[in-house]
Amino acid sequence: MGKFVITKRSNGEFQFNLKAGNGQTILASEGYSAKSSCESGIESVRKNAQDESKFEKKTSSNGKFHFNLKATNGQIIGTSEMYESTSTRDNGIESVQKNAPDATVEDQS
């Protein structure tokens, strides 16, 4: 089962990572100035992860593949790691869709 992990960056901002059952980070958030905003970001991921159209598939300048998860307003709420192929990127999307809705929240901030 997946989990969201909230941490505090050295600059004081909060961020969350969605981790799959194996502990691998499958989605990382931006930095938030308030913990409540970070928690709202988690809820947005839970809601938007079920909508295939909210995933933006991208190719980086170095030829690797990644994706962004966007909210209804078009704002990016999470970014994946870099993948070697489109199939592994697509597996990452499936993992977010599977893990996000029921993921627990672990506050390490």
pLDDT tens per residue across span 61-97: 999 999 999 999 999 999 999 999 999 999 999 999 9
Q: Looking at the 3D structure of the chain, how many domains does it have?
A: 1
DSSP string, the chain: --EEEEEE-TTS-EEEEEE-TTS-EEEE---BSSHHHHHHHHHHHHHHTT-GGGEEEEE-TTS-EEEEEE-TTS-EEEE---BSSHHHHHHHHHHHHHHTTT-EEEE--
| Most distant CA atoms of the chain, gap in Å | 36
What is the domain-level CATH number for residue 71? 2.30.29.80
pLDDT tens per residue across span 24-33: 999 999 999 9
Domain extent for 52:
3-107
- 1 — pLDDT class (breaks 50, 70, 90): confident
Q: Which residue has the higher pLDDT, 6 or 21?
A: 6
